[in-house]
Amino acid sequence: MTWISIFTGKSGFAASSTAEDVTKRVDGTGLTAIVTGATSGIGLETARVLALRGVHVVMPVRNMESGKKVKESIVEKIPNAKIDVMELDISSQESVRQFASQYCSKGYPLNILILNAGIMSPPFSLSKDNIELQFATNHVGNFLLTNLLLDTMKKTVKESGKEGRIAILSSEIHRMTYKEGIRFDKINDEKSYSAFSAYGQSKLANVLHAKELTRRFQEEGVKITANAVHPGVIATNLARNGGFNAFFYGVFNRILKNIPQGTATTCYVALNPQVEGVSGEYFADSNLGKASKHAQDAELAKKLWDFSLNLTKSN
């Protein structure tokens, strides 16, 4: 037995709502979406529900064999599903650049970008680009991928007349970052590294990313929205690192969402017409939520953008 809330918010949905509930009667035919981290958990369910609603889903995956098996499992149940599998390691900037180049060369449009892939609280290590692994995977890779695909999204918006949407998976744990929010001068400091605080830092970066993207879209007059999403506490593969994670999920077992419930807010932000024109916000339980004080700091968001540009050497 779990204690998931059945009380609805202003959207008409609750923590107990599923991804199919929040997209009921939504026709996604003609839309194309990228869903990262789609081989398991809420990423897989996101891909499945979007495909169910008629969206052409592109799944960037680290393991192509696993990706193809997921595609087969979805198509078996949804014969008309349109799904493509492409290779991507979001923690590697080289891989991100290769994926973006290949995607653009295929001439696919891009209406929806769902940045779902992530890791949680591993022991300290560096990415291939010598960046602390959680920050590299959960933020820097997403930042670079988004920047490399923005021209495609803008072109799609212009040609289709439909709003583009970016959903970035964050977490309530963005509130539990280091006291300074983002440790710009200590990103790779192993001595003071806290696996949990570093996870919170990367999740704060997700909210700030959506905020700064929104400022830039509004300044440019581009019809693209960017929002951060808290899926809820879910028993997924994020917890596979053990240690604190195992303890955390054990303590909060009574309030765990199942995967269809945990996927709801992502699909709500990606497809539901109620969210049209809403940007720079933080969503939880398929309703507007309130992010932390750090997450609402416009100057911090701008500083993070410049810092991320430097880490990725983007123009």
Residue 255, pLDDT score:
61
What is the reported pLDDT for 63?
Answer: 96
| pLDDT in the model for residue 256 | 85
Question: How is residue 31 written in tokens?
Answer: 């839309």
Per-residue confidence (pLDDT) for residue 315, from 0 to 100: 43
Q: What is the pLDDT of residues 126-144, one digit of tens each?
A: 999 999 999 999 999 999 9
**Active-site hit among 103, 178, 193, 249:** 193
Q: Is 246 helix (H, G, I), strand (E, B) or coil?
A: helix
Ranges of residues in the chain whose predicted pLDDT is under 70: 1-6, 235-255, 314-315
Burial (CB count within 10 angstroms: exposed 0-12, middle 13-18, buried 19+), residue 230: buried
193 is catalytic: yes
Q: What b-and-e string marks burial along 118-127, b requiring 16 or more CB atoms within 10 Å of the CB? A: bbbbbeeeeb
Helix axes 141-160, 298-312, angle to 10 degrees: 100
Question: 182-202: b or e for each residue (b if 16 or more CB lie within 10 Å)?
Answer: bbeeebeeeeebebbbbbbbb
Q: Which tens digits make up the pLDDT trace of 176-187?
A: 999 999 999 999
